[in-house]
Structure 1
Amino acid sequence: MPLGVVIRRQPGVTRWAKWVWRAVAVLPGAASADWQELRREGEAVEYHAATLPLTVYRSETEAYRIVLAAESPSVFVVLHPSEEASPDRPYVVHSVTVSAHEAQQALDSGEELVEPVPMPPPLYAWLADFVDRHHADETFMKRKRGPAVEMQSEDGKGDARIRQAADVYRSPASRRKGELH
């Protein structure tokens, strides 16, 4: 599903940040755009910065359930600092996701700016329907140990630099008669 990303530019509140840039909305089914101005209120401007595909996967339904169960379900917009560093376009919209796990991975890298944006009701209904159709609970499987493989131990092998009658790494079961202790 194509999602348009709306980014707002507002005057900064400190002298070190002239502008504050934030993703504020997504537009389901939007046409392509490239920083098209949508609305202006004084010095605050909203842009339709980009339209990106939102892709969902059957294997990620658990992450989608986390987002749907949140107090305020969100779409996560991932922004990269622009390499051109233009004051008019300081960020590039890298991706959009509804996966809590993907959003966390983007946050962990420390390079991207991840903005949660309120999920529109039609997108919520579409995602909930997808999860209902494709989610399957995974049953808990307790891990079992494999069979012990005998005669493959490295008993008696220790540090090759230590030359002594009793190797400090040798187990008590490998002691032979007459060996010095």
Structure 2
Amino acid sequence: MTGMDDQPKIDVPRTVSMPVGVILRVTPGVTRWQAEVWSLAGVIPFAPPAAWRVLREAGDVAEWHAATLALELHRSDTDSLVQNLAASDVPSVWVALRGAGRPEPHRVTASPFEASFNEIDGEDRVEKVAMPPAMQEWVKAFVVAHHEDVPFVKRRRDRREEGDAQNGIGDARIRQGADVWRTPKSLRTRK
């Protein structure tokens, strides 16, 4: 994690929350079966509460402050936040939208791992947008305070003797001559 290790650790709670405004853009549809197209246009960090307030209109295109949702960061999710901040060219925010037609925003996250769990069916979708600089600094401060690099350790198999395995499956009182679950050592001792 280059660049974030040299910053001093500050006292930050284990879980923090930020109100995030979700901006949806509506444009005219290109076919007669779809009158309008709704898409994610952006997010507003530290946004006031709002429910479907028009922000801007230009001809047939309008942008709405659809909802204000809580973006929560948990101490156990810092690996995914590091992935978002350091590994990607542009850090992102993911918004889960529910419903066909005019979608309803129902979740916002900065974790790419958590975003992949939100798509449930054909009417639900997850869209991403670039994370604003103020939100990047807030997430970075949380990561600096809580992230601990845990090195990957590959588990090694235990060495066992060939005959130490279970001597077959099923009732031991019933002769099982053709049992495929017998160990090679037990088959040799029966002859």
Question: Could you tell me the TM-score, scaled by structure 2's length?
Answer: 0.75
Shift of the 34–159 alpha-carbon distance from structure 1 to 2, 3 Å rule, reads same
Larger Rg: 1
Distance 2:73 2:163 in 1: 50
Q: Which runs of 5 or more structure 1 residues have no equivalent in the other structure?
A: none
Residue pair 2:162, 2:184 contacting (<8 A) in 1 also: no
Count of matched residue pairs: 169
> Deviation at 1:128?
1.2
Are 1:34 and 2:51 matched, yes or no?
Answer: yes
Q: Which amino acid aligns with 2:97?
A: L
Write the mapping of 1:102-181 to structure 2, written as runs, cut at 5 A. Answer: 102-107=114-119, 109-111=120-122, 112-146=124-158, 148=160, 153-157=165-169, 166-169=177-180, 170-174=182-186, 175=188
Q: Does the CA-based 8 Å contact 2:45-2:135 persist in structure 1?
A: yes
Q: Deviations over 1:61-89 (max 9, x none)?
A: 1111222132222111110106xxxx6xx
1:73 — aligned with what?
Answer: 91
The structure 1 residue matched to 2:74, chosen from 33, 37, 57, is: 57
Q: Which runs of 5+ in 2 are unaligned?
A: 1-17
Q: Who is 2:13 aligned against?
A: none
SS in 1 for 2:34: coil
Equivalent position amino acid for 2:96 in 1: V
Contact 2:162–2:183 under 8 Å retained in 1? no
Aligned-pair CA distance for 1:9: 0.7
Distance 1:159 1:13, change over 3 A: farther
The two structures, once aligned, show a CA RMSD in angstroms of 2.9
Structure 2: distance between partners of 1:8 and 1:145: 54
**Cα drift, residue 153 of structure 1:** 4.4
Percent identical: 43
Say whether the 8 Å CA contact 1:74–1:118 is kept in structure 2: yes
1:93 aligns with 2:110: no
Relative contact order higher in (CA < 8 Å, ≥ 6 apart): 2
**Distance in 2, Cα, partners of 1:93 & 1:103:** 13
The answer to whether the 8 Å contact 2:25/2:64 transfers is yes
Tell me the CA shift for residue 145 of structure 1. Answer: 3.5
SS in 2 for 1:123: helix
Distance (whole Å) between structure 1 residues aligned to residue 169 and residue 144 of structure 2: 57
Q: What's the counterpart of residue 3 of structure 1? A: 20
CA distance in 2, matches of 1:157, 1:26: 59
Measure, in 2, the Cα distance between the counterparts of 1:81 and 1:129. Answer: 34
Deviation at 1:49, TM superposition (A): 0.6
State the distance in 1 between where 2:42 and 2:179 align.
Answer: 66
Residue of 11, 16, 22 corresponding to 2:39: 22
